[in-house]
Amino acid sequence: MRVLPSGSTALLVELDGLDDVLGLYAALVAEPLDGVVDLVPAARTVLLVTDPSAVALADVEAAVRRVRPRPGRAGTGGTVELPVHYDGADLADVAALWGVDPDEVVRRHTGTGWTVAFCGFAPGFGYCTPDGDPWDVPRRDTPRTRVPAGAVGLAGPFSGVYPRESPGGWQLIGRTDVAVFDLDRDPAALLRPGVRVRFRAVSGAAS
């Protein structure tokens, strides 16, 4: 664990990889540190945002060094099953990249468990990481200017669901009717760090 400075109110904890991030984040959610008001997990780091009127950064640093990360991907945030119509515009391209047919892409995507490692890019956009060996899918050479809400994509080692219409460079393999970000729900984001995800293939047109 490396603790890096981030100004007068925050500390950036750098770790070896996603599993360590998930383990530390899970521990910090289970037993919050005094004076820490927000946590931002990412691919290799967890940002600890403090209330400087309540705590000194040096004390937070000492405390985080004593935290015992939770082992494994126990799934601290429950499980979400997402029904997916696998009719994405890039499904054939991904299949060609892997030298398999599109059905095999669907089998691999539905056949493994996923864990939301962190959110980013947009509110409620969860970066899902697969159990087992990491995936590696290149982004599209040219990002799309408009990706619809609910689009299910792959990029690098991650899979994700676009929470709302936005530009995007991920390879789109399908779409879900489930609203992964809904302001009328609390919490608004379905795919939160630590949540376990299962994708399930459904047939028929999406509404």
Question: Residues in the site for other proteins, rule: CB under 8 A?
Answer: 4-10, 12, 14, 25, 37-47, 49, 52, 118-125, 183, 187-189, 192-193
Residue number, 14 or 61, with CB nearest to other proteins: 14
Rounded to an integer, what distance in angstroms lies between the CA atom of residue 196 and that of residue 60? Answer: 29
Which residue number, 25 or 86, has a Cβ lying nearer to other proteins?
25
Nearest approach in angstroms of CB 100 to other proteins is 28
Smallest separation (angstroms) from other proteins to the CB of 146: 15
Strand order in the sheet with 114-119: 79-84, 196-201, 114-119, 126-130, 158-161, 151-155, 171-175
Strands 126-130 and 114-119, bridge-based pairing = antiparallel
d(CA 134, CA 29): 25
Q: Least CB distance from residue 76 to other proteins, whole Å? A: 12
Of 33 and 89, the one with the shorter C-beta distance to other proteins is 33
Between 145 and 203, name the residue whose CB sits nearer to other proteins: 145
CA distance 5 to 48: 10
Q: Tell the smallest beta-carbon distance from residue 200 to other proteins (Å).
A: 24
**For residue 2, what is the enclosing H or E element?**
strand 2-6
- Return the H-helix or E-strand segment holding 24: helix 18-30
Q: How far is the CB of 184 from other proteins (least distance, A)?
A: 10
Q: Which is nearer to other proteins, 46 or 173 (CB)?
A: 46
